[in-house]
Structure 1
């Protein structure tokens, strides 16, 4: 099954200053800030296009360090140290990929023209600030969202509960998806939810986001690629990716997730507006809530992320290839070559290989599933508080069959830990 590529949409925003267009990749050096498993895939994508990759993280032997041209250990949240590193290495592009990064340093580097920071310093800062991002989306851009509030103490959270009623979802201001979240259904939940939220993530916060529970049919990730060419900015869309938290330690995603025509148009409009507001070049994972023809903005990640791992098998160009091409100013396409599904298995730092298991036998069982593939992550990945252990992937003529196959692969892989 082959889908035609999505048509590029020219930016509706007026462009007062022409944005820079990247040159040829042959002489390009790229500094990746964050060197986890996803950065490893991105490093390989850049290298296939002739770029030199400098992989930076706060700990040694990170996954991307194993493939980078130059691995570097540095405190990315230290503005002075990060600025000195960028000036020393003098990369053409600085790409924020994960972890806690000193956004002020990136802003200063970009303003002085030391390097081009991508997608943009602003998007890096907002990716660690749910409050700033939600106010941009809802208050400035007028995008539809679930009703939301912010609280700076348990007392303020209690006041929100009295105003909004139950049920409510409490989220940390900065954390990985699902981390530190709670559902409030009674008054006794307030204090534990507050403590859980402020303790989550790597950035200390005494503030939480509170959302009403919106009845939806499903959640989607719309991978949106912003490019800049001779005619100006344009956005391109991949086929929608359905995703759900399968349980506490796995994420399931599949492509395509079919949307009604009106919902698809609304999703593309929302994605284009938030991505054009953030600016820059690269892949943005726009997360949306869908109910019938209604679509609500939920979040945006200015980089490849977990639900997009399905594109390693579903598309001609994966999310990593698309991110690298867009940043280097090269042509992109979003052709889907087959429906596919993926299951990402997570665990905490305490996860250890299961004793008495034969890894070869487990892999043989997993790969016996039709049209399946796996990726095992053996290096320590400290980019998130929960560690990726493996990705199970499968293709099929239909996404329902692909999901069933990926689940069987995931079930087999779980026996490794």
Structure 2
């Protein structure tokens, strides 16, 4: 929808509830859910003010029924197209909070996911890593969206693979081959989201956060927070995905964050 009139018509065509997104967004900025008629004008305003490219066209999406959502990190290099193990994740208000690898899925669904991701990234062209988001319902796979870059849910690859998504992106862009991605085992990530307004944030108690084997942390070094902002990530590896997620959550629970 290009203007408010088209937007109102699109909402009527898709039906309520529906999701509104600016055509260019990340981390949920500018996105909202219309639950009643009273939300229509508010959602238009959020999309116009929060989009990465500023005000402009918006997308109105209907809801689909699905079992889970994955990010299939897809690498295009001079060696061809290579896929990471599927990443499962949980988002809150369109923003990633948890991710894990591998997401358990049937062989048929995994093959379909790779087929779809391969077609989309081939059509887009270029070298590098693409974060292809997909909905999975049984053996059916539905395309959601694609990011032509490293993906926030893919930060789990900093502990789960021999080459993280960032290393893969750089290697492919440099014109070097990516013949294989070696996966180490079940892993999880937990985003460190800070809320408030400050340019002085202290992150402490790290000696307790990192006391369990198989736990790592990355602090992003962002200088300030206004509202809420992802300031770091906790990474964990274990024998199973469930254990890795629990370990990451335990480490997060020990974290101390002070805003001055």
Aligned counterpart for 2:171 among listed residues 307, 325, 330:
325
- Residues 25-54 of structure 1 show CA distances to partners (whole Å, capped at 9, x for unaligned) of xxxxxxxxxxxxxxxxxxxxxxxxxxxxxx
CA distance in 2, matches of 1:276, 1:250: 26
Does 1:415 find its partner at 2:239? no
CA RMSD of aligned residues (A): 2.5
Residue pairs, 1:17-36, within 5 angstroms:
none
**How far apart are residue 292 of structure 1 and its match?**
1.1
CA distance in 2, matches of 1:406, 1:188: 39
Partner of 1:399: 241
**How far apart are residue 326 of structure 1 and its match?**
1.6
- Quickly say closer, same or farther: Cα 1:194–1:290, change in 2 above 3 A: same
- Quickly say closer, same or farther: Cα 1:162–1:266, change in 2 above 3 A: same
**How far apart are residue 327 of structure 1 and its match?**
2.0
CA distance in 2, matches of 1:278, 1:265: 20
- Residues 263-298 of structure 1 show CA distances to partners (whole Å, capped at 9, x for unaligned) of 111100110001111111111111111111111111
Partner of 1:253: 99
- Quickly say closer, same or farther: Cα 1:211–1:414, change in 2 above 3 A: farther
Partner of 2:156: 310
Query: 4+ runs of 1 displaced by more than 6 Å?
Result: none
Does 1:167 find its partner at 2:13? no
Partner of 1:270: 116
Name whichever of 243-252 and 315-324 sits farther off: 243-252
Aligned residues: 258
Per the normalisation by structure 1, the TM-score is: 0.57
Q: Is the 8 A contact 1:249 1:346 kept in 2?
A: no
Aligned counterpart for 1:342 among listed residues 149, 173, 189:
189
Residue pairs, 1:70-219, within 5 angstroms:
151-219=1-69
Q: Is the 8 A contact 2:159 2:237 kept in 1?
A: yes
- Residues 329-369 of structure 1 show CA distances to partners (whole Å, capped at 9, x for unaligned) of 33322111121111122346824556xx8x55x11221123
Q: Which has the higher strand share?
A: 2
**How far apart are residue 190 of structure 1 and its match?**
0.3
Q: Which has the higher helix share?
A: 1
Q: Is the 8 A contact 2:16 2:34 kept in 1?
A: yes
Rg comparison, structure with higher value:
1
Gaps of 5+ in 2: none
Partner of 1:92: none
Per the normalisation by structure 2, the TM-score is: 0.90
